Copies of this chain bind each other. A is one copy, B any other.
Amino acid sequence: MSPEKRLAHYGDYSLEAAAARILERHRDRIRTRKPHVAVAKLAKIIEATLKLSNRLGFQAMSLRDLAEAAGLSMGGLYSYFDGKETLLVMILGEVSSAAEDLLAAAPEEVRDDPAAHLRWLIEMHILLSEAMQPFFVFAYMEAKSFPAPARKRAIASEAATEAIFARVLSDGAARGVFRVDDPHFAAALIKPLLQDWYVKRPKHARRGMSAEAYALGVSDFVLKALGAG
């Protein structure tokens, strides 16, 4: 099965689906009433925000440029958010909820096998970040300029992801599958390997590497480091 299909089993990670979820999550702040209009425009706004932000940063993106790229006027934008910061929070929320929901959804058949579970977590995280690449890059690069509450959520979300990995590692250690002294430290080392896929995507693409191939390479590398290769 193609990696896209595998991922699709767990959720719809298209731009439109993300826009729909964001609309639902922020219905009270968005003035446009008719959902199909709102979802379509919101998708264009978010697409343009990611495109412009990931080039020079969110701060450097002017709302005038955004309006033009999204096909709206300055005033029109403000039917969809009540301030530039809200736009940032909307995108961030979508990233962390997508990651949290997916990683907690490991199927029955891998939960009992630590090595398979670890491979599943690594592969799914990479496939998700591939499907939502601009979202992930945005969340990673703009993390330092989050408003305080959003920053707290982001840190909590990252800690939750790491805890899932740490649990599988210590479970595997207890069963004698992994040789690992400090599961939390090992989990902390896996995280940047996952992030590197989307943060440095151009570099990997230049070497002709696909998301699947990267996921496989990281899994092998990690499992060998854990003495289960």
Contact = CB atoms under 8 A, between A and B. Distances in A.
A188 interface: yes
Interface residues of A, number: 35
A10 interface: no
A75 interface: no
A225 to B, nearest CB: 4
B203 A196 contact: no
Contacts of A207: 184-185, 188
Interface stretch (A28-36, A56-64, A79-87, A119-127): A56-64
A3 interface: no
A182 B218 CA distance: 12
Interface of A is mostly: helix
Contacts of A144: 54-57, 141
Contact of A193 (B59, B182, B193): B193
A221 B217 contact: no
Interface in A174-229: 182, 184-186, 188-189, 191-193, 195-196, 199-200, 203-204, 207, 209, 217-218, 221-222, 224-227, 229
Contact of A189 (B56, B57, B59, B218): B218
Contact of A59 (B55, B59, B182): B59
Interface in A149-170: none
Given A189-B218, A218-B189, A221-B189, A60 B145 contact: yes
Contact of A221 (B56, B184, B186): B186
Contacts of A217: 182, 185, 189
A145 B57 contact: yes
Nearest to A54: B144
A227 B223 CA distance: 11
A193 B189 contact: yes
Contact of A225 (B57, B59, B225): B225
A38 to B, nearest CB: 31
